[in-house]
Amino acid sequence: MVATIYRPAKNVMQSGPGKSKTWVLEFSPSGDKAHDPLTGWIGSTDTKSQLQLRFGSCELAQNYAKKHGIEYRVRLPHSRKMRIKTYADNFKY
């Protein structure tokens, strides 16, 4: 089972960088999902795919994975380009 370590994107309703400094260790699904014909729900016996562990840094998440023998891959976050402009720029031709 392979885990992915990543830093989640900020919520679209946020203007600031709050809650975007945490790193998440998330397991990829290992089994198939089964369809229940009676209720129409989809279920699985894989409980690790529902688990998300949050860490303060990428190194802490990697150390946790190494300590528990979890195979992992790291997805690095994209950097944001800041375009600084003034309010008066909205009215330029």
Note down the domain range covering 60: 1-9+20-28+48-77
Q: Is the pLDDT of residue 66 over 80?
A: yes
> Looking at the domain assignment, is residue 60 inside a domain?
yes
What's 73's domain CATH number?
3.30.160.190
> Looking at the domain assignment, is residue 72 inside a domain?
yes
With a CB cutoff of 8 Å and minimum separation 6, the contacts of 57 are: 23
The answer to whether the CB of 15 falls within 8 A of the CB of 85 is: no
At residue 54, the 3 state secondary structure works out as strand
> Looking at the domain assignment, is residue 64 inside a domain?
yes
> Looking at the domain assignment, is residue 69 inside a domain?
yes
> Looking at the domain assignment, is residue 3 inside a domain?
yes
- Between CA 46 and CA 31 the distance in angstroms is 6
Strands 2-6 and 71-75: parallel
- Between CA 31 and CA 17 the distance in angstroms is 35
Give residue-wise pLDDT tens across range 5-56: 999 887 777 777 776 789 999 998 877 888 888 998 988 888 888 889 999 9
pTM: 0.73
